[in-house]
Structure 1
Amino acid sequence: VTQLPAPPQPGPHVTVDPCALGDNIRAITLMTQLIKIGINKMKDQDRGCIVNISHPSGEYPHACLAAYGATSMFMDYFSRSLCREVACHNIHVQSLTPHLYNIDDGNLTPHLYDIDDDDEMCTWSSVTPTTVARNAVNGIGKRRSYGYWLYGLRSFLASCVPMCFRYYYTNSLMIRRRCA
């Protein structure tokens, strides 16, 4: 299982810290090298499974998340292409894109869960990471998964909204955050 680093604080690309930008690029490069090593060992066993966890910011252009969205999209396409490449060796590669992050008041934050005596609170719009992990394991063999049916539905509904409305919505969130 490989995962992108946490998304940076949203901001215009020209103001992004070069070190943070470099960290994303280095993380992607390192992941591809680790996957290469893993695939060579899996080929010897003639079976295996790789799950690459991406972020939905790569599905559509997002204001103030340009570099992170690009690395997310790279990981998603890399996973789906690699899946076809190594399928003949009985190696499954899945691109998992859970919507575990929320943009509230222009601030990109992870969903928060109240954990009390091993109870994870779940609402209609958020799902616990445990549930996403369980569904992702059950969905191994699929090339691409959102980890939970609600995230798949959310992505489908977002794809029905015209791009001009999505741009307006994300730009208005970023302007409120004084990002633009």
Structure 2
Amino acid sequence: MTVPQFFSDAPVDNTARDDLDHETIRRVVWRLLLDLAVSPADAVVRAADTVTVDELTLLAPASGALYGLMVQVAETGQNPDAVTLLSAALAAGRFNGPGGDQLHHVLITLAGATGEALRLPTSLRGVLALVVRSRAAALGHALATNAAVAGEADLTAFATRDAAELLAQIGRLEAYDRSRGVYVEPAAELVARKAAA
């Protein structure tokens, strides 16, 4: 039972990286960025129809590294576009070590993409919101996939761990909003209000 681990520095198994090709990467980039960023509904449907779970799993380490890099760049006040991300990754040595080749493939694909595939967040808040949405989508997908086959203990442990990660990312986004004077409804109140609706 796995789901992409964002911001993880743990070693990863890269035995599948030689199977990467440009078309697979392009579709995975659509799924991770176009689908989860600012796309209209029809683009989301197209992206979802052109990528498999196996392909998502293949680039999961790169997705975590990519989101972490986007946050790092946005925190410096720069626009986290593909070219800036490439420069930052190169300067930080992100292409060395586990997942480096995958991250390089993804960034090169983004830098050479046109149209919808370049619709990336342009602010720190946009990046933080993207991380929350992608973390929530990954968690929801993994729960739905494994609910019928995993044991209760495994599901409980998995949900507890990954929900904690999601809540941490939500907390980071809420802290950013509060620092800008934006009112953030407490999570408990939001849940209660939605349940009563």
Q: TM-score, normalised by structure 1?
A: 0.31
More strand by share: 1
